[in-house]
Structure 1
Amino acid sequence: MRRDRLFHDMTLDFLQPPHPKPGNTVFLHFRCGQDDAKKVILVYRNGVQLVEEEMKKHHSEDGYDYYLFKEKIPENSDTIYYYFRIEGDGETLYYDRRGVSFSVPDYYKFRMILGYETPDWAKGAVMYQIFVDRFRNGDPSNDVLTDEYKYVGGRSIQVTNWKKYPDPDGDIREFYGGDLQGVLDKLDYLKDLGIEVIYFNPLFVSPSCHKYDTQDYDHIDPHFGVIITDNGDLLEENDENRNATCYIDRVTNKENLEASDALFAKVVSEAHKRGIRVILDGVFNHCGSFNKWMDKERIYENARGYEPGAYIAKNSPYHDYFSFYGGEWPYNNNYEGWWGYDTLPKLNYEGSKKLENYILDIGRKWVSAPYYADGWRLDVAADLGHSSEYNHSFWKKFREAVKEANPDALILAEHYGSAHEWLKGGEWDSVMNYDAFMEPLTYFLTGMEKHSDEFHGELMGDVNRFWDTMITAGADNFVQESALVAMNELSNHDHSRFLTRTNHVVGRCGTKGFIAAEEGVRKAVMRQAVTVQMTWPGAPTIYYGDEAGMCGFTDPDNRRTYPWGTEDQEMIRFHKEMIHIHKTSVELKTGSIVRLDAGDGVLAFGRFNRISATVVVINTNEYLTVNEISLAPLGIPDEARLIRVMESNNKGFTTDPLSYTVKNGKLVRAYGSDSAVVLQYNRITAVNEEAFWSTNFFRM
């Protein structure tokens, strides 16, 4: 049997309906080479029962046979595991999520999780992550001022030089003035770039620049929003008080808070008008010591309309929101902090049903009128609670609450390692895809660890290891519904910029300095990474400024300001072209993926459906290679024509079209060092293209 023609996955061409429910009639298709198989047998387990069903040949097309299995799913079904046994002349093969194997699958069976459905708008959606303080200062009147308040042993600092590098030691208290008005001002830029979703780092009231230490979940921070009332004074040079009147007035005044919330609603509305969705960052595992429920810094003690915090009043209504220990009142620092940080009090959900209901209401609030956010990204989601049992119980309730308020909302979680237990249809929709995207791609193209803390040159160009890691981690975490909405990032606020990783410098800004992050970077390798990002299954997510050529070691250096006026325009143009290719090619949003064999150091894969196909070739070698690549796994005719739509190398990139003829199912062409090539085939237009190229090819 021709093994490269065997194929099945859970995309629409091979499974209908795409997210079946109990009671549905399901249609499963399997593809093999024409006349290759004597029998194709579906082997599946529903509960404890193992069933074998011989599939029927449905039709033949372009040298391929398509087999069909049709069956009504029993009403009491939950998750169905299945694989295929293919019997030919003198051999028996098996097919599972890895592809062809010679043994009965175990770990890699296909999983049909009945009723698991993720938002269609998020499948393959191009996302853009904004760290708000560093994106654009649209309203200087709301800036955090120098000496406005104290936090983590120092005073707040207003940075007036937009181009200044972040302070390696005090960045948490440095504020550059980026805000929601700045985002509003640049929505047309994001639309022109091709962005479909904005993911905001936290926006709620908080004393830090990163805002992962929430002070008030009910309101947008006025320093990102609007400051109407401002009657406070700055800290004096010798003022040792913990609180600052100026800060208190700005972040507790209802007029400021309501105006800031209204500005956020306007941002979402204007984004929606441009076809851009908005998702929020939910930090629900812990809050901040400034939080109105704890109030360690006495921000809310005398503020009108606020109950006393758990740190300052023994009878606080929020006492059970936290875990205090070790002695009688006053508690001082005797409370549980996330990773031991007293500035990050861990929330005690098991101790307070009121807290649980409050956060569930927050989940509902921001995806409902008048804000209409489109979903949540959940910070350290697997850490919430004090047991896995409670963790799963909470996220099921959270999903129910959010989806009831907005059935089309997306729920993504930050998670490292196996997310299998959370991705069964009742909790998260998907995850930030570290294990099956960012890490393996970084090692493959740069050899660098994602913080730039280590270099492993032996991993560069290792196609087998890359593919095995992507498939293994993906099979563990995802089914089709979760894979297509997984957040595929190259960089973000927690890791070094991908462009910096291309220079192979191990270190951080505190030891290497800032310039070292910019020296010797390889833009061609960055373009290779973006090419994979925009053609791999999932939601390609750009960290603000990556498209403009930004560099930086891990945080805080990865949080430099967007370089307005000094952007790398070529890199922006490349991103726009690749985003356009991604958005106009249905197979790149929801199609199948197969590996293509292209030799050592050359990654080749195809995305396809029954109508069209995209071929991607990445040459990591430092020399020109000529490769013969079989396109049989794509299911296209043996005699076909591919059109080059993108080619990048060390000299730049081009989108000028070139035509390549496929003979006997083989594509033969050369690939330069550090190159990325994207070629496409369309079955419907193939005849028209043939006529076009016969008359126009030599005119190009």
Structure 2
Amino acid sequence: MIRRDRLFHDLTLDYHQPPQPKPGKQVFVYFRCGQGDAGRITLIYDSEVASDEVEMKIHHSEDGFDYYLAKGIVPKTSGIVQYYFRIESEGETLYYDQRGAGETVPDKFKFRMIPNFYTPDWAKGAVMYQIFVDRFRNGDPDNDVLTDEYNYVGGKSIQVTNWNQYPDPNADIREFYGGDLQGVLDKLDYLKDLGIEVIYFNPLFVSPSSHKYDTQDYDHIDPHFGKIVSDKGNLLTNSYSNKDATRYIDRVTNKKNLEASDELFAKVVAEAHKRGIRVILDGVFNHCGSFNKWMDKECIYENAKGYEKGAYVSKDSPYHDYFGFSGGNWPYNNNYEGWWGYDTLPKLNYEGSKKLEDYIIEIGKKWVSAPYFADGWRLDVAADLGHSEDYNHSFWRRFRKAVKEANPDALILAEHYGSAHNWLVGGEWDSVMNYDAFMEPLTYFLTGMEKHSDGYHGEFIGNVDRFWDCMLGAAAENFSHPSLLVAMNELSNHDHSRFLTRTNHVVGRCGTRGHKAAEEGVSKAIMRQAVVVQMTWPGAPTIYYGDEAGVCGFTDPDNRRTYPWGTEDQEMIRFHKEMIHLHKTSVELKTGSLVRLDAGEGILAYGRFNRISATIVVINTKDYLTVSEISLAPLGIPEEARLVRVMESGSKGFKTDALTYSVKNGKLVRAYGADSAVVLQYSRITAVNEESFWSTNFFRM
């Protein structure tokens, strides 16, 4: 009889060498089964150039397991190689794919090897930190946006002088709290101490909004985030000009301010790099803002020195083809294509202008090159760029080639909902913000809430089978192994409610429920459960600024509250530090294998492991103490072993003092408290050393 729980393969280094193979090079594929269980194991593969079956041979046996090996040459084509395994023994036949053992093998669950596709090693399992700059820290009050400084989307800018004030849902895009790059620079040591390895910045380029997803000038950092060294600039003489707009226009068209801001960004990156922290920029290339110097609907640049006429200002503008105008002759009024119909967000018309495409490609290269040296891009609504899927793929292939040539170690992540398979087959994006295979399934499993707090499904809480089906199904659909390890695993971000708020099961938004409702009845224990999963799941755990300090909030704009300097939840920060440290010091949590463990109804259990060590995670979603017996056979560790508890969180807090547990006959029997999260670890090296210690001391007696 074939013991299913002992069968295992994935594309980690222990089972697939090398994990990122090169065309024409040799590859070694290993498969694990229970010792003596299999009569024959066959590797079955399919590629663009060949399909075949390879009988595997036993390579070695260890701790009650047989390890089979097949060798081969990676095809020289760049196409995908799909494969799976057939295991036969005494009339029994099983197949093995990404789901594990079964009787059938759907195509989507076959293992995928993509020759010549690599993601940066530094990003695999890297701990990231997302900063919405205006709300992180005000380090330079001299660059603050002032009240009535300019008009934007039917209202004037508002300077918020009370750092702790809630964002106004009716005016948030015009509200400015003063956060800036100097504030980030001032807190780099805080981020280093927290354990952060990568900063992901929401947009930094010139823009009139607080969120800056309506880019005005891709060539420069916004002086309100950077430096304002001069308020003197170009006075407006056109019909739109008014005294309220003058200061803003002077500040963001003044070359001294722009150059000083760019220099400050370069300094932030350099200082981050000194601390071992990488920096990723947000690229909003599908659309720009109506303020953009190419459109200039608000006539900001019409008479500014050194700028060409915008497409809205002049029919002879060199940028006319950058946009999709319709409805007759100039003047065009609002007859241009806006993203989702918003006239403040003109969609860029790449198919109509090779010059525009070339320009954005150069922007992609510019910021990852000297003197800025950013480490990559997060791409906003990347699948929407262009007007056809064919063009979209063509653009991202060119973008990837250009960016990787400028900086071979650059990371390219995309915002995407739904299947990203077509963009992750080797020539376009490295990975995505992992909504479908992380944020959403985990949120439902622990809270029952939709990620915007727009709905509640209590029946999803603790539904372990549904959790695994969603997580593994979406992962198999989206990711090859190199993409999975750099996927951005977030609990919260600037588009969704704060995870801590979701724990209170309140459906609604701040406009209807009020800000306080986002803070009431939250569960820190459930938040800690989520962080434990985040820091132990394959991918790049990404903290949204303030989550580690206990910040709450409904969806946009309430999720963009300021970081609570001076009133942080220090216990939550300490917990994040402990889990980040555990993640960074346990190799299996960065690049190791993942396997499901069976712990019973309402209890999520899984292991991350390699041939040297293993981490076991157990999450009890029940509101009462539960005893569970868990078989650890899927981890490939000896049946008699010792585990060390390194983290335990519950309703009363958390503890990290080491406790040792014995595994007997491959089983771990233990009690788990209500809403608890437990992390235990096994080390083969420690086990060998303990064995040596006891043997040596025995013979000394």
* CA positional deviation for 1:72: 1.5
Assess if the C-alpha contact under 8 Å between 2:156 and 2:174 holds in 1.
Answer: yes
Q: Does 1:550 align with 2:565?
A: no
**Would the alpha carbon gap of residues 14 and 269 (structure 1) be closer, same or farther in structure 2, given more than 3 Å must change?**
same
Match of 1:416 in 2: 417
Match of 1:252 in 2: 253
Q: Which amino acid aligns with 2:527?
A: M
* CA positional deviation for 1:596: 0.0
Match of 1:103 in 2: 104
Secondary structure of the residue aligned to 1:53 is strand
Query: In 2, distance between residues paired with 1:427 and 1:77?
Result: 13
Secondary structure of the residue aligned to 2:450 is coil
Secondary structure of the residue aligned to 2:471 is helix
* CA positional deviation for 1:171: 0.3
Q: Does 1:655 align with 2:656?
A: yes
Q: Which amino acid aligns with 2:516?
A: I
Assess if the C-alpha contact under 8 Å between 1:22 and 1:78 holds in 2.
Answer: no
Which region of structure 1 is more displaced relative to structure 2, 82-91 or 491-500? 82-91
Secondary structure of the residue aligned to 1:107 is helix
Assess if the C-alpha contact under 8 Å between 2:75 and 2:115 holds in 1.
Answer: no
Match of 1:346 in 2: 347
Query: In 2, distance between residues paired with 1:94 and 1:505?
Result: 44
**Would the alpha carbon gap of residues 276 and 77 (structure 1) be closer, same or farther in structure 2, given more than 3 Å must change?**
closer
Match of 1:55 in 2: 56
Assess if the C-alpha contact under 8 Å between 1:2 and 1:33 holds in 2.
Answer: yes
Secondary structure of the residue aligned to 2:685 is coil
Assess if the C-alpha contact under 8 Å between 1:233 and 1:246 holds in 2.
Answer: no
**Would the alpha carbon gap of residues 240 and 262 (structure 1) be closer, same or farther in structure 2, given more than 3 Å must change?**
closer
Assess if the C-alpha contact under 8 Å between 1:234 and 1:246 holds in 2.
Answer: no
Q: Which amino acid aligns with 2:642?
A: R
Q: Does 1:324 align with 2:318?
A: no
Matches within 5 A, 1:617-696: 617-689=618-690
Secondary structure of the residue aligned to 2:107 is coil
* CA positional deviation for 1:662: 0.4
Q: Which amino acid aligns with 2:619?
A: I
Query: In 2, distance between residues paired with 1:189 and 1:664?
Result: 45
Assess if the C-alpha contact under 8 Å between 2:234 and 2:304 holds in 1.
Answer: no
Q: Does 1:523 align with 2:540?
A: no
Match of 1:193 in 2: 194
CA-to-aligned-CA distance 1:417-469 (integer Å, 9 cap, x gap): 00000001100000000000000000000000000000000101000000010
Assess if the C-alpha contact under 8 Å between 2:232 and 2:254 holds in 1.
Answer: no
Query: In 1, distance between residues paired with 2:241 and 2:262?
Result: 32
* CA positional deviation for 1:349: 0.2
Match of 2:699 in 1: none
Match of 2:439 in 1: 438
Query: In 1, distance between residues paired with 2:642 and 2:487?
Result: 32
* CA positional deviation for 1:49: 3.6
Match of 2:145 in 1: 144
Match of 1:72 in 2: 73
Matches within 5 A, 1:466-615: 466-615=467-616
Match of 1:266 in 2: 267
Root-mean-square deviation over aligned CA pairs:
1.6
Match of 1:22 in 2: 23
Q: Which amino acid aligns with 2:150?
A: Y
Secondary structure of the residue aligned to 2:225 is coil
Q: Which amino acid aligns with 1:494?
A: D
CA-to-aligned-CA distance 1:380-439 (integer Å, 9 cap, x gap): 000000000000000000000100000000000000000000001100000000000000
CA-to-aligned-CA distance 1:241-281 (integer Å, 9 cap, x gap): 49711111100000000000000000000000000000000
Match of 1:697 in 2: none
Which region of structure 1 is more displaced relative to structure 2, 66-75 or 398-407? 66-75
Q: Which amino acid aligns with 2:125?
A: G
* CA positional deviation for 1:50: 2.7
Match of 1:221 in 2: 222
Secondary structure of the residue aligned to 1:198 is strand
Secondary structure of the residue aligned to 2:72 is strand
Assess if the C-alpha contact under 8 Å between 1:150 and 1:242 holds in 2.
Answer: no
Query: In 1, distance between residues paired with 2:78 and 2:208?
Result: 49
**Would the alpha carbon gap of residues 597 and 298 (structure 1) be closer, same or farther in structure 2, given more than 3 Å must change?**
same
Q: Does 1:37 align with 2:38?
A: yes
Query: In 1, distance between residues paired with 2:568 and 2:429?
Result: 36
Assess if the C-alpha contact under 8 Å between 2:365 and 2:406 holds in 1.
Answer: yes
* CA positional deviation for 1:107: 2.5
* CA positional deviation for 1:213: 0.2
Q: Which amino acid aligns with 1:47?
A: E
Assess if the C-alpha contact under 8 Å between 2:235 and 2:250 holds in 1.
Answer: no
Q: Does 1:365 align with 2:366?
A: yes
Secondary structure of the residue aligned to 1:418 is coil
Q: Which amino acid aligns with 1:671?
A: Y
Which region of structure 1 is more displaced relative to structure 2, 622-631 or 239-248? 239-248
Q: Which amino acid aligns with 2:38?
A: A
Assess if the C-alpha contact under 8 Å between 2:74 and 2:115 holds in 1.
Answer: no
Query: In 2, distance between residues paired with 1:265 and 1:31?
Result: 49
Matches within 5 A, 1:84-123: 84-123=85-124
Assess if the C-alpha contact under 8 Å between 1:234 and 1:244 holds in 2.
Answer: no
Query: In 2, distance between residues paired with 1:489 and 1:405?
Result: 28
Percent identity over the alignment? Answer: 81
Assess if the C-alpha contact under 8 Å between 1:378 and 1:411 holds in 2.
Answer: yes
Q: Which amino acid aligns with 2:8?
A: F
Assess if the C-alpha contact under 8 Å between 1:191 and 1:274 holds in 2.
Answer: yes
Query: In 2, distance between residues paired with 1:474 and 1:436?
Result: 5
Which region of structure 1 is more displaced relative to structure 2, 627-636 or 67-76? 67-76
Matches within 5 A, 1:237-316: 241=242, 244-316=245-317
Q: Which amino acid aligns with 2:467?
A: F
Secondary structure of the residue aligned to 1:82 is strand
Secondary structure of the residue aligned to 2:441 is helix
Match of 1:384 in 2: 385
**Would the alpha carbon gap of residues 692 and 498 (structure 1) be closer, same or farther in structure 2, given more than 3 Å must change?**
farther
* CA positional deviation for 1:691: 8.0
* CA positional deviation for 1:283: 0.1
Secondary structure of the residue aligned to 1:188 is helix
CA-to-aligned-CA distance 1:109-159 (integer Å, 9 cap, x gap): 111111110000000000000000000000000000011100000000000
Query: In 2, distance between residues paired with 1:43 and 1:105?
Result: 13
**Would the alpha carbon gap of residues 550 and 693 (structure 1) be closer, same or farther in structure 2, given more than 3 Å must change?**
farther
**Would the alpha carbon gap of residues 658 and 396 (structure 1) be closer, same or farther in structure 2, given more than 3 Å must change?**
same
Match of 2:698 in 1: none
**Would the alpha carbon gap of residues 686 and 324 (structure 1) be closer, same or farther in structure 2, given more than 3 Å must change?**
same
Unaligned runs of 5+ in 2: 696-701
Query: In 2, distance between residues paired with 1:110 and 1:599?
Result: 28
* CA positional deviation for 1:47: 2.0
Query: In 1, distance between residues paired with 2:498 and 2:251?
Result: 34
Q: Which amino acid aligns with 2:141?
A: P
Q: Which amino acid aligns with 2:594?
A: I
Match of 1:208 in 2: 209
Q: Which amino acid aligns with 2:498?
A: R
* CA positional deviation for 1:532: 0.1
* CA positional deviation for 1:232: 6.8
Query: In 2, distance between residues paired with 1:159 and 1:90?
Result: 74
Query: In 2, distance between residues paired with 1:472 and 1:448?
Result: 20
Assess if the C-alpha contact under 8 Å between 1:494 and 1:558 holds in 2.
Answer: yes
Secondary structure of the residue aligned to 1:244 is helix
Q: Which amino acid aligns with 1:392?
A: H
Assess if the C-alpha contact under 8 Å between 1:197 and 1:278 holds in 2.
Answer: yes
* CA positional deviation for 1:231: 2.9
* CA positional deviation for 1:689: 4.7
Q: Which amino acid aligns with 1:677?
A: V
Q: Which amino acid aligns with 1:123?
A: K
Q: Which amino acid aligns with 2:575?
A: F
Assess if the C-alpha contact under 8 Å between 1:46 and 1:77 holds in 2.
Answer: no
* CA positional deviation for 1:692: 8.4
* CA positional deviation for 1:233: 11
Secondary structure of the residue aligned to 2:607 is strand
* CA positional deviation for 1:686: 1.4
Q: Which amino acid aligns with 2:173?
A: I
Q: Which amino acid aligns with 1:540?
A: P
Q: Which amino acid aligns with 1:467?
A: W
Q: Which amino acid aligns with 1:95?
A: Y
Unaligned runs of 5+ in 1: 695-700
Q: How many corresponding residue pairs?
A: 692
Assess if the C-alpha contact under 8 Å between 2:288 and 2:348 holds in 1.
Answer: yes
Query: In 2, distance between residues paired with 1:8 and 1:165?
Result: 50
Q: Which amino acid aligns with 1:140?
A: P
Match of 1:698 in 2: none
Match of 2:454 in 1: 453
* CA positional deviation for 1:17: 1.1
**Would the alpha carbon gap of residues 242 and 216 (structure 1) be closer, same or farther in structure 2, given more than 3 Å must change?**
farther
